[in-house]
Each structure stands twice: as structure tokens, then as C-alpha cells.
Structure 1
């Protein structure tokens, strides 16, 4: 009887040890829960669509570090294709705005930088869209259409650099394909680049399919000339749109820009008159998104003095950036690819042409 009791006790002990071993093995299985994202820093103030990121001396605003993902073993595939489907790719995040040292102690400078979440295609500019009135009294956002263009766009860039300010550029796809080196200068200087159709036609007068083609070719043409994805920002030529086209841009998560103040530099070609007109309109409006054209010679000539008067008038410059970068569509990338110029084999102009008299 004693032998049976001892044998039973031994079996019980063995069962406990086996159970503990099995429990330990179960608890060491890898977790299948992704690490949570680190919370936003106090330097980033998010309000709906627009997040204000105030300049930080000495560099870009600090961002919270993300926790490393745990070492997760791949799960076995299941028979259900829906469960094995890969998630759709998200838009690539935009790079942090280029922050360059300002060598002008008396420069106008940037008062603050705002970041736009373009999900759903918000409209900005109070002349057409009233949902996001994000500029405070005395704040001005500089925007330029129709470039890039030789001489004029580089002159605009030089004037902006001298005052240490940034702007949003809306290039035409064709112009970008003709002058990709100038567009790359715009990007290298740290400005935001959107798009402005392929050939600057009035989209409101076109059938939807043709207008869509103009929009997408413009986006692809600008991105290819830039050599990188640009901001999901778009401005309608002549500000003429249709509800269907605005909805389409919303589906593409592209923000539509209108204006608050029109410089009318397309018809005012005397720099002093252009400056006086802009300052009078800003005084009346008190703030706003200012429309200019780096395509126009008068704008390039007027801009240094205009920026000086903005500073003298106490205006503050707001730089607009995008949270994400635009995603081009492959079929339109293919359409505009042949328009890209081939590498030039020309000699330096001074080696070919010289003044003799």
C-alpha cells in the first residue's frame, strides 16, 4: 500500500512540473500587438486640419521618438485571401521644412509654419472656402503661380532668400518639364511646391475626363521634374472650378488653394503700382493668402521692395507646408515622361558665343 502511495505522489509531482513548464512556454510566445506611437510633443499644436509648428531656434522642432517594434514572428498564412491581403500603402510623409540660417538680422523672416493635413481635400483661401480661416490678423502667406520661368523665378527666389521667408509655389506642368533645374532650385531653397495643371487651361470649361487629365498630368509633370514627390496642394487656373473637380481632388486627398488677396500682377506691369496695390488690399483685408506669379517680370522686380514694406507695416509671414506628399498615378507618369528634356550636350555658352564689338 505504501508503494502505491509513493508512486501516486511521484506522478503528481511530475504533473505539476510539466504544467509549470508548459505555462512558462505559453507566456514566452511573442506578442502580436504593435507598439503604440509615441504621443505628439508639446511643440506641435494640432487643430483639426491645420497644425501650427512654431520655429525652434537652431533647427527643426523636436519630435517624439517612436518606440521600436517588438520582435514579432510572422503568423502562418490562412486560407482566407482577405485576411492575407496587404494594407494599402499610405502617402509618404513630407520631409521636414528646410531650415536655413538667416544672415540678415533685419529680415522679415517667418513668424510661424503651419502644416496642412490634406485628407479629404480641404479648401484654403477665404475668397472661395470658408471652413479654415487659420491666419491671424496681420499674417500673410506668400504664394506664386505659373512658374518655373527663367530669370523671373530665380529673381523671386533671391528676394525671398534675402528676407529669409518661404512661400508656396504652384508650377505649371509644362513649364516644370521645360525648366526642371529651376524647379529644383525652388525645392532646394526649402519652399513648398504644389501643382497648377499641365497647361493652364480653364478646367471649368472642359469635360470632366479632360479636366482630370490636365490635373493629373500637371501633378506627374511637376513631381518628375522635381525629382521627388511634391506637396498635395493644387490651385485651379483662374480659380475656376466645378463641384465635381473639387470632389475629385478630395478623393485624392489634395488640398485646393484659393486666395484672399490678388496682386493682379498679370495685368499690372509697373513695380511701384503693383506694390501700392498689394499694400492697399492687405490694409483693407488685414491678412491673407497673397496670389502672385513668379512667371511675371514685374513681380520679380517688385518683390524686394514689397517684402520690405510688409516688414515696415508689421505684417508676419506664415509658411504653409503639407503633412504628406502627393501620390502620382502611374498612367499619367507615363504620359508626361516623354516630355522630360534629355541631358544637354551643349558647351558653356561663353565657349560658343562671345561679344566682339
Structure 2
């Protein structure tokens, strides 16, 4: 009987340990950020966390094709992390604008993209448009942009500001969860061409580290200079880091045009003139968020096709800049309990 009791106790202890392990695994599962973006997505039902490739039953938009854009000879830089395949999400709108093709950029050597400044890689065909958004993430506006893009089953490249990402990491995670490409746009959006090289380099690297930290994962080696202001030294530095520099083909000028109807008319007129291009917008701007649903509708009506730009690799951040943007650790407080200091008297 004593031996049986010992065996029974041992089995009970093992069951408790197994139960605790299961409980630990259950409670460690991450949950989706509770943000305005999440609320918008749940309301519209347009964004899923993982989308399968569109089918004839779910979408009329053509299936994306991946075409490489090859850059120059390799330059010395920290080894980049391999990029996971872009998330494919089911299009629930059978009449969506959709993505006509997906291109993958090999950023070795720091290629420049956007014909307003760089002429080496003119990869867009007539009628093709690549959507890009700067200066986010930002409450209300970025979630509204995400909802508009999801409604038409299209993807874009986002260039967040490091500080904004550190203030609103949950919104940035919504951008990533929707399957968009995320690059960087400096730490604080200063004109780098007017700064000493060392200071400008710090702005670039802190921006990369800040966005990656807020994202909770490596980001794409895509960078856009604030105001498109660059120097030869800074462009060469991006090449050493194997970071592609993005310029533009069409400027929506949403930083100064704040009436949605005027913004749409001006952008469509420019696209008609160029016939194609990398389109610059800002998810920071309220007017852009308000104009985007109609702008996408007019792109579809005009026969334009959306090209989604992805990166072959991810960029490795540099530890010294990671340390500079890491949130400060809270110090121990000697404050009394709040109830002993403040109480409701009426």
C-alpha cells in the first residue's frame, strides 16, 4: 500500500507540472494591439492577420508575380537577415483594384529608385503605380489609410519617422500585420543635407533602430531622405549599409493641399502626365486619409495597376544606435500609495 501511495503522489506531481507548463504556454501567446486600427479592421472585416493568395472565387485582381530588380556590385556591410516572404491575404472585394505584380529589390550597394533623382532602375511599366507613405505612424490617420488600402486589396511601402514609431508602436504593428513593406525616414525628420555627416548618420541609424524596435522585428533596407535632400556622402553611406534610397516620380503635395477633392484632382493630373510612377503621400496627413478611398477608386477607373515593392533582405540595426533609442528604464519610486495622498471628498 505504501508503494502504491508513493506512485500515486508522483503521478499527481507530474500532472501538476504538465498543467503549469500548459498554462505558461497559453498565457505567453501574444495578443493583437488594441488600437484604433484594430477597431477599424474589425469593423470593415477587410484585414486578416494572414491572407492566402487571391483566387478566382475571392477576387478578380490578378495574382501577384515577383520580379527581381538587380542592384550594383556588393559593398561591405553587416550581414542582413533574410526577409520572410510577403504575407498574402485574401481579397474580400471581388471588384478590388488589387495588386498587378510584386517586385523584390536586391538592395546590395544601395540602389536609388524614383526617376526624379535616380535614373538607373526604371522598373515600372506604363500604367503602373507604386504607393508610398511617409511620416507615420499617426493616430486616426494611419489606421484610416490602412482601411482604405485593405478595402481595395492593395499594398504600399511605409517610411515611418523613428520618433513617431516610438510614440505609436501599436499602430506601426498594424501596418506590418496588414502585410505592407516598412522602411525608415530618419529619427526626427530633419534636413540631413544641412547637417554634419556624423549627425546625419546618427539620424539615419537612430531612425532604423527606432522603427525596428517599435515594429518588434527587422525592417526592410529602404530609406527616404526627408524633403528628398541628400548629399553624395550620405548616399554613399546608404550604399555601404546596402540600403536602397527611395525618391519619387509623382508628388501628391498632400503636405500643402488639405482639401481631399483638390488632392485627388492634382494627383490624377500628374499621373496622367507621367503615365506611371512611385507616388509620394503621407499617412501623417488627415487630408490623405480622407482622400485615399476615392483616389484608389479613380486609379482603378483610370486603368492604373498597383505594383507592390518588397525587399530581398532585412537590415540589421547597429547596437550603439539601438541603445540610444531604447526606452529609459523606470526608476524606483518612493511615493506613497496614491490612495493615501489623493481621495475623493465630494
Give your verdict on TM over 0.5: yes
In structure 2, what is the equivalent of residue 270 of structure 1? 259
TM superposition shift of 1:90: 3.0
Equivalent residues of 2:132, 2:281 under 8 A apart: yes
**Residues 1:49 and 2:71 are matched in the alignment:** yes
Q: Give matches, 1:66-215, under 5 Å.
A: 90-215=79-204
In structure 2, what is the equivalent of residue 297 of structure 1? 286
The answer for unaligned runs of 5 or more in structure 2 is 1-64, 332-346
TM-score for both structures, normalised by structure 2: 0.74
The verdict on how the C-alpha distance between 1:239 and 1:44 changes in structure 2, with shifts beyond 3 A counting, is: closer
Equivalent residues of 1:197, 1:237 under 8 A apart: yes
In the alignment, the residues of structure 1 paired with residue 329 and residue 91 of structure 2 have an alpha-carbon distance, to the nearest angstrom, of 34
In the alignment, the residues of structure 1 paired with residue 200 and residue 170 of structure 2 have an alpha-carbon distance, to the nearest angstrom, of 27
In structure 1, what is the equivalent of residue 209 of structure 2? 220
- Higher-Rg structure is 1
The verdict on how the C-alpha distance between 1:182 and 1:47 changes in structure 2, with shifts beyond 3 A counting, is: closer
In structure 1, what is the equivalent of residue 220 of structure 2? 231
SS in 2 for 1:338: coil
In the alignment, the residues of structure 2 paired with residue 336 and residue 183 of structure 1 have an alpha-carbon distance, to the nearest angstrom, of 16
**Residues 1:306 and 2:295 are matched in the alignment:** yes
Q: Give me the CA root mean square deviation.
A: 1.8
Equivalent residues of 1:178, 1:341 under 8 A apart: no
In the alignment, the residues of structure 2 paired with residue 180 and residue 200 of structure 1 have an alpha-carbon distance, to the nearest angstrom, of 17
In the alignment, the residues of structure 2 paired with residue 341 and residue 258 of structure 1 have an alpha-carbon distance, to the nearest angstrom, of 40
SS in 1 for 2:313: coil
Deviations 1:240-293 (A, max 9, x none): 000000000000000000000000000000000000000000000000000000
Equivalent residues of 1:177, 1:340 under 8 A apart: no
The verdict on how the C-alpha distance between 1:210 and 1:163 changes in structure 2, with shifts beyond 3 A counting, is: same
Query: How many residues get paired?
Result: 263
Deviations 1:91-110 (A, max 9, x none): 11111111000000000000
In structure 2, what is the equivalent of residue 350 of structure 1? none
In the alignment, the residues of structure 1 paired with residue 185 and residue 266 of structure 2 have an alpha-carbon distance, to the nearest angstrom, of 25
TM superposition shift of 1:48: 2.7
TM-score for both structures, normalised by structure 1: 0.72
The verdict on how the C-alpha distance between 1:89 and 1:146 changes in structure 2, with shifts beyond 3 A counting, is: closer
Equivalent residues of 1:159, 1:303 under 8 A apart: yes
Equivalent residues of 2:102, 2:307 under 8 A apart: yes
In the alignment, the residues of structure 2 paired with residue 44 and residue 159 of structure 1 have an alpha-carbon distance, to the nearest angstrom, of 24
In the alignment, the residues of structure 2 paired with residue 234 and residue 324 of structure 1 have an alpha-carbon distance, to the nearest angstrom, of 14
The verdict on how the C-alpha distance between 1:339 and 1:220 changes in structure 2, with shifts beyond 3 A counting, is: farther
**Residues 1:287 and 2:276 are matched in the alignment:** yes
In the alignment, the residues of structure 1 paired with residue 78 and residue 260 of structure 2 have an alpha-carbon distance, to the nearest angstrom, of 47
